[in-house]
Amino acid sequence: MKFFDTKYRLFGVVNIIDLVVVLAILAGAYAVYRVLAPKAESPKEAVNTADVTFDVVCPALRIGFSSPDQIHVGDTISKNEGKAIGTVTAVRAMPTPGVAWDTNTSKIVEYQSTLTQDLIISVKTTGQPTDNGVVVGEGILRSNEPMPVTTSTFECDTSYMANMKINGK
């Protein structure tokens, strides 16, 4: 069996030039479609957000100058950049623990200060846990790092974060 007959038709049915023209038109149409067709959005990586709770400890605040009454449950708390990082869920004060040298017994003894108090502010927020900490907004939170905080009625530059819990972990 011959591929082309005397009239240059493929298998005696289709003219080879017509076939090349049809294939060229189909290839061109496909190329135009690929260029002009709306791009299918690739599925975005799911952002792994979690509820985060932590305590901000403001140590050794002078009694009478800083009080737990200056900060309230429901206040928005922000880091020193001024961007909100969470909401206050609890506030408690406790006497600042300390140690001193007891000259009578020649030992170091623990005591609780009557002049200063530690203010512990519990905060709740939502963030994205990473290996380096929790990303909240544009910042990252890490336990036991300095964390100056501000609310509308309270400011503490010497504070640090403790007791971070992610989704109750």
DSSP 3-state of 48: coil
What is 73-106 written as a DSSP string?
A: TT-EEEETTS-EEEEEEEEEEEEEEEEEEETTTT
Confidence (pLDDT) at 150: 87
**Strand boundaries in the chain, DSSP class E:** 9-10, 14-15, 50-62, 76-79, 84-102, 107-130, 133-136, 139-141, 149-150, 155-156, 160-166
Rounded mean pLDDT, 47-68: 85
pTM above 0.75, yes or no: no
Rounded mean pLDDT, 102-117: 91
Give CA separation, 141 vs 29, 98, 120, 122, 151, in Å: 53, 27, 17, 14, 17
Mean model confidence pLDDT for the chain: 84
pLDDT digits (tens, 9 = 90+) for 59-99: 988 887 777 788 889 999 987 667 888 999 999 989 999 88
